[in-house]
Amino acid sequence: MQSTFARRGIAVAPHSLAAQSALAVLREGGNALEAMIAAAATIAVVYPHMNAIGGDGFWVISGPGGVPGGIDASGASARAATRDWYARQGIGPQIPAGSVKGSEAGRSATIPFRGGLAALTVAGTVSGWGAAQTLSQQALGGRLPLSRLLEDAVFLAGEGAPVTLSQQALTDAKKAEIAGAPGFAETFLVNGAAPVRGALFRQPRLAHTLSRIAREGTETFYRGALARQLAAELAAVGSPLALADLKAHHARLVDPLALSAHQSALFNMVPPSQGVVSLMILGLMARMGARSAWMTPGADALAGPEGAAFIHAQVEATKLAFRVRDAHVTDPAFMKLDARELLSPERLDALADQFDPARAAPWGRRTDPGDTIWMGVIDSQGVAVSFIQSIYHEFGSGVVLPESGVNWQNRGASFSLDPTHINTLEPGKKPFHTLNPALARLDDGRLVVYGTMGGDGQPQTQATIFSRMRHFGDTPQQAIARPRWLLGRTWGKASDSLKLESRFDPAVVAQLRAWGHEVETIGAWDEAVGHAGMLIRHPNGVLEGGYDPRSDGAVAGF
């Protein structure tokens, strides 16, 4: 499979219409930030099972002169969302006397994943669009109005977007679980069934809301007339969110985390994102290279970009990094260690010393699923954006607000109700995020943006495609299209085994089992391993990109 080349601008997305929205803005003289706003709005409409304007977003940016930056557009929990509040709803390990609703046997120990009680965090993604537009205007001379950037999204929501096979399959798989959530059935089902591939899927209420945002600006979502409407709608479906929570929210400009490894400067998002995990995995793999054959070129079962040594080293690095993540990473206001400390050479050296090149470490934990989209854009000036937008599970909470048509996320359902847990629920706290967009500057002058969807699969796939490109010389398209793997669960997969696509050589599977891995074979081109993408700006200005054939995506450039 060949990569796509361009000279003046390039975009990649897991849905071709989103990539085309970005390209149209670039052709009109827009910059990478403006192009990404357009792509983000479009994909929120055309890939509704994966993301929505009722979700969160993160941006990692290479600005003028290569200066890195970032936008944290994730929302915090409602001020009313306390452990006691959930206990009074009959949810949680401790319920005050006299406040139980229903029988003790019927209560849940965890926050529900669907319905109004799951919609407990502010949706931050629209604030990220606003912050990106402000940056575009102030730093890049951006001139395109928000009405132009949301134009495609408004049209596709109102006039209809073609249903993808992914949307049809996920709707069919999840409809029984989510059908009872307020507004889900009338929005996402047709006569009680999933819409079929190729049919036009219309969201007129969402079209009206997007038009309103285009006219009034992104602030209306949090501090304007739309915010007042959203607060009333949220209250009506049983969410603890209130107008004060929306008013308190602002996207944050942040400095991304950085790590020097693999002859590259690697960048990723700060907590509550797990960007530190993606960097840790690459840092550990660099150290493991001296004790493992994973960097060795070749085509046998051990060596090369599809070899057992590469898979084993990365899986073991993932286990080590996840252990650190689960002990330390949460809302940075609640962390005892700064994330940068977790990336210190001393800590990474000590972790790498635990690596056994011929034996799998114990696993057996439950990992987190997640439905997400990743997209990338590079413009003619070399400004690059790595972007991710999500509603957590398929269709988020399943709640679609009755007037605005906004599908609200359930990211807050990942909070623990155990007061001793690092991610325990607190009012105004941000939940831990699997979302993490990646960017790298290589010492040979290449600039790379890359990423994927897929919950805990994100750091794994990032390490896979980056390493294939950096160490084995793969083009972006080769790195993405080769068979991939996943340790643990992601959307659509419930087991915690090491999953390998069936295109791997049986000898690779046999070697991994011999080293002690619990291996499961999945489909040849399985969406469970994520929808990845990668763009490169070469030193001579040539732009190159690859998209994931497991998705409905495309690379668009000119």
Q: Tokens 């951006």, residue?
A: 142
Q: Tell me the longest C-alpha to C-alpha distance in the chain.
A: 71
Q: What is the spatial distance between Cα 374 and Cα 436, in angstroms, rounded to a whole number?
A: 9
Collect all residues with Cβ–Cβ distance below 8 Å to 197 and sequence separation of at least 6: 163, 164, 165, 167, 168
Told to judge if 372 belongs to the known catalytic residues of this protein, a careful annotator would answer yes
- The answer to whether the CB of 436 falls within 8 A of the CB of 388 is yes
- The answer to whether the CB of 379 falls within 8 A of the CB of 312 is no
Tokens of 508: 């690779």
- Give how far Cα 91 sits from Cα of 37, 112, 122, 287, 413, Å: 38, 8, 21, 45, 12
**CA 112 to chain centroid:** 21
Catalytic member of 372, 434, 464, 490: 372
- The answer to whether the CB of 76 falls within 8 A of the CB of 249 is yes
Based on C-alpha coordinates, what's the Rg of the chain? 22
Collect all residues with Cβ–Cβ distance below 8 Å to 36 and sequence separation of at least 6: 22, 59, 132, 375, 377, 385, 387
Q: What is the spatial distance between Cα 148 and Cα 136, in angstroms, rounded to a whole number?
A: 14
In 3-state terms, what secondary structure has residue 459? Answer: helix
Residue burial 48-77, b: 16+ Cβ < 10 Å; e: rest: bbbbbbbbbbbbbbbbeeeebbbbbbbbbb
Q: What is the spatial distance between Cα 246 and Cα 392, in angstroms, rounded to a whole number?
A: 19
Residue burial 103-132, b: 16+ Cβ < 10 Å; e: rest: eeeebeeebbbbbbbbbbbbbbbbbbbbbb
Q: Tokens 């003289």, residue?
A: 29
Q: Which residues pair with 522 in a beta bridge?
A: 501
**CA 16 to chain centroid:** 18
* Short-list 440, 434, 321, CA closest to 370: 434
- The answer to whether the CB of 329 falls within 8 A of the CB of 308 is no
**CA 111 to chain centroid:** 21
Q: Tokens 């936008």, residue?
A: 71
Active site residues: 372
